[in-house]
Amino acid sequence: MITAVCPGSFDPVTLGHVDIITRAASIFDKVYVAVLVNPKKSPLFDEQERVELLKRSTAHLDNVEIESFNGLLADFVEMKKSRIIVKGLRAVSDFEYEFQMALANRKLSPNIETVFLTTSADNMFLSSSVVKQIAGFGGDISGFVPPEVCERIYERLGPKD
Ligand code: COA
C-alpha cells in the first residue's frame, strides 16, 4: 500500500487544495492530509476548525484522512509510515520556497521524496490569503472555496452586503 501526505496550513482549504488532494487520492492508496503550523502565519481559523472544514470538503474521498500535527512535517510523515509528500505547484514563484522545503525535509529524513502536482490552470492565482482578502471586502468567493467554507468565512469576517 502506497501512502502519501498532503501538508499545508489550510487557512482555510480552497478549491485549489481540494483539487490537489483529489488527484493525490486517485494516485495513492491512502492520503493523509496534515494541518500543520507555519510559524510565519497568524491563522484566521484554529486547528480544529481547519480540520473540520477539510473533513467536510473531502467527505467524498474514502481514502483520505485529515489530521492536525504540532511538529515537523518530516516527523509526521515518518509517524504515518509514509515517505511521500505531495504538494501543489502553482507558478515559478512557488518553486524556490517549495524546493527549499523539499530539500530540508529530505535532509531531516533522507527517505522522504516530495512529489509536485501542477495546479489546474483555474487555480493558478488562488491562495488562502487571496480568498480572505476578497471576502473581507465583501467580494464573491463562491468560485474559490467549497460551499461550507464559503459560509464559515463570511461568518468570521462579517456578512456580504
Ligand atoms: N491551489 C491554490 N492555492 C494553493 C495550492 C493550490 N494547489 N497550494 C498551496 N496554495 C496556497 C495556500 O492556500 C497558501 O496560501 P496563503 O499563503 O495565502 O495562506 C500558500 O499557497 C502556501 O500554502 P501551503 O502549502 O499550505 O504552505 P504554508 O506555508 O501555508 O504551509 C507547511 C507550509 C505547513 C507545510 C510548512 O510550514 C510545514 O511543513 N510546517 C511544519 C513545520 C516544519 O516541518 N517545518 C520545516 C519544513 S522544511
Average pLDDT over residues 72-77: 97
Q: How do residues 53-66 score in pLDDT, each as one tens digit?
A: 999 999 999 999 99
Range 20-42 average pLDDT = 95
Beta bridge partners of 35: 8, 68
For ligand 1, which residues put their CB under 6 angstroms from it? 7-9, 11, 14, 16-17, 20, 36-38, 72-73, 88, 90, 101, 104-105, 119, 123, 126-129
Chain segment 116-142, per-residue pLDDT in tens: 999 988 888 999 999 999 999 989 999
Residues 6+ apart with CB under 8 A from 25: 31, 61, 63, 64
161 vs 109, more confident = 109
Alpha carbons 46 and 44: distance in angstroms, whole number:
7
**Full-model pTM:** 0.94
